[in-house]
Structure 1
């Protein structure tokens, strides 16, 4: 309760709305964060489930060609294209007061301090207009770029692309090619730079592709060849919600973390992260032995 009472709720980056239901936390709409990781996941799966419900293919012809995933699911593709067109128009054409149109930077001292109050461009502007103070007020760009504007990495525009990314789980054969073109194979450049906080189009295509390749590799190793059964990662995977919420509440406390002696030491940060992860894997394993599984 000490952490819950002394830390603003908006600083809980991954917490969902239901975490308010804690006896020691006085609920107040003035500091409640409305967007969030779990909210985004829930809405993304809801939209994708609607697409599958209304336009699912019960049988795939045996003579299907390589592009059949596009031809057979063209109504779903149409919805996804419309959603992505909406994201592109809002991101690059929507006028934002006192900011350049199509701005994708962090604001603050970024871009030589020319646009200090333009954090997140159109995405940040829409979220601040919709949610006001009820959003994430401690973005990753705050410390690095000294920004003063709140920015929520799980905001409205990014949720559109999270839906696109989820859909690309079934249509991934061409995503790496498109992401390479959009980013010009660079870290910060290209037509649409790879940006996780904005969930840019190049980011979702790049991550969708590599996620598929990783899944395909694990499927080959575990299911087809039987070389590996998935341990120890299978244990936190079977209690992912418990581990996620537990880390959100306890991740700042010993023994999961501690005050760094050398703040700039990458090795110390790496060791702390590996130690905390190992502890949660151990906890998940013990819960697995007890046959305790938290589901939604």
Structure 2
């Protein structure tokens, strides 16, 4: 969109798609007193910035084809027998089943690292689709954090709207919720006391929070672990708080689900919802708190219910109101220096106020996101072995949450009642990403656990070691071979190559750890 303005009046408005590294001029001509024409003139042709992505796609498809051929060869009996003797995969499977989710042999709790178990027939099997989904979200997150090839759609949206970068963290929270109900159910079925499990939940939440504050903290560049500049919120901190609330809520009301939970009548259709009505009441009350604080709390110098970016947004009327109530609460409770100093809004909207996208108020909707994931886990528990029922309910939940988003946003980017906004973790953002998550989980579940036409590789491996991969990629982000000095810092080709190599290395590391039977559990 190009506007030409003179003396406070708009002369013309034209739509034009500008290519990268091109040079353009806007020519405004007045043919007579009333008629004005505007034209874009290309002084230097732009480059095709999408060619690096195309070539990277071809390379990865080539690798995939080689792996597919290799898998075909493995299915040949003489080759398969030789490999089984050399690699002994049964030991790896035994370790996973006994240490990472088998309800008959383990007493550890895990939400990100454990997907839980259920009986597909007479034996207990781990759901690979959950690890695959978790690994997919994690790998995209790593790629985005490393720079995403400097493409705009691999960067977080400046304010309202969505890019690829805005999808993955909520999906990680969603799958964490699904894992909570499966893992806790397996513990309760074996007779573990709720007080014992509560202690483990509290300890794990504390560890996640401390790792985020002490180890993975972007404010280290301002000083070595200086309290004056230490950022308190963060990704792992939000995961820890969300995990604590959702897991405790599940422990308060959950009962062990027997293997044969088949029922008839109306209760059968709602058996994953009706017994947990206190949880739903709590979540609705929690969401009411978010709505009341967001739209009713007075923020000094800002209009009530303001959801804008501040800065030069809204014609500069509310320059210091970035994030409205969400930022006000963080500044009031944490202090300006203890929150994120460089939000995505400061580039386009030229904001000068610190704003944290993982702040306190947004954690409420993060809990809601995990609770919807918890519902996905309950579907897998109550309808175990009933593939059609599971996929139908995933589809129904995807449609319902999508419909809620359509109402809240009025199917627009900025004109809805509550726009989709990752920085604020608005409720429409949660319902939209939940809708995507239910549909995506349906597809992965169908391909991996129902038809078994896909093993989940390569995403399955990082999904098995998610906390280790996330923490490792943050700590070693600036070290070779994950980063090196580039010849042309403006080149998509060099950035994309560096970011893809770094991300691929973490996939390889996760695969090696899987083969070595090394799994980091908190």
TM norm structure 2: 0.50
2:313 & 2:427 partners in 1: Cα distance?
22
Match of 2:213 in 1: 17
Does 2:421 match 1:183? no
Structure 1 outlier segments of 4+, above 6 Å: none
Q: C-alpha displacement at 1:61, in angstroms?
A: 6.5
Number of matched pairs: 279
Larger mean CA deviation between 25-34 and 184-193 belongs to 25-34
User: Hey, what does 2:296 align to over in structure 1?
Assistant: 93
Report whether the alignment pairs 1:145 with 2:341.
no
2:174 alignment counterpart: none
Give the whole-Å Cα distance in 1 for the aligned partners of 2:487 and 2:414: 30
The superposition leaves residues 114-166 of structure 1 with CA deviations (integer Å, 9 ceiling, x where unpaired) of 11111111001100111111111111112222211111111111100000011
Question: Is the counterpart of residue 159 in structure 1 residue 363 in structure 2?
Answer: yes
Greater Cα offset, 165-174 or 193-202: 165-174
Give the structure with higher Rg (CA): 2
Tell me which residue corresponds to 2:439.
Answer: 213
Go from structure 1 to structure 2 and tell me whether the alpha carbon gap of 1:134 and 1:289 turns closer, same or farther (over 3 Å shift): same
Structure 1 residue 54 displacement after superposition: 1.3
TM-aligned CA distance change 1:162 to 1:289, over 3 Å: same
- Partner residue of 1:74? 277
- Asked whether the equivalents of residues 48 and 167 of structure 1 are also in contact (C-alpha less than 8 Å), the reply is yes
Per the alignment, residue 288 of structure 1 pairs with: 514
- Shift, 1:255, TM fit: 3.2
Deviations 1:202-242 (A, max 9, x none): 00111112112211211111111111111111111112112
Q: Judging changes above 3 Å, is the alpha-carbon distance between structure 1 residues 128 and 180 closer, same or farther for their aligned structure 2 residues?
A: same
Question: Which has the higher mean CA deviation after the structures are superposed, 248-257 or 99-108?
Answer: 248-257
- Distance in 2 separating the partners of 1:270 and 1:101: 43
Pick closer, same or farther for the CA change 1:254–1:111 going to 2, 3 Å.
farther
2:231 is aligned to 33
More strand, by proportion: 2
Aligned equivalents of 1:289 and 1:66: distance in 2? 41
Partner residue of 1:202 out of 403, 428, 433: 428
Is the 8 Å Cα contact of residues 262 and 268 (structure 2) preserved in structure 1? Answer: no
Question: In 2, Cα distance between the equivalents of 1:20 and 1:204?
Answer: 25
Q: Is 1:248 aligned to residue 438 of structure 2?
A: no
2:422 partner SS: coil
CA contact (8 A) 2:216 2:474 kept: no
Which runs of structure 2 are paired with 1:52-131 in the superposition (5 Å)? 52-59=250-257, 62-63=263-264, 64-131=267-334
Contact 1:57 1:72 in 2 (8 A): no
Cα distance in structure 2, aligned partners of 1:155 and 1:280 = 28
* CA RMSD in angstroms, aligned pairs only: 2.3
Render the CA deviation track for 1:19-57: whole Å, top value 9, x for unaligned: 189xxx843211111111111111111111111111114
Write the distance in 1 (CA, Å) between the matches of 2:417 and 2:242. 26
Instruction: Please list every run of 5 or more consecutive structure 2 residues that lacks an aligned counterpart in the other structure.
Output: 1-208, 218-222, 377-396
Conserved in 2, the CA contact under 8 Å of 1:109 and 1:147?
A: yes
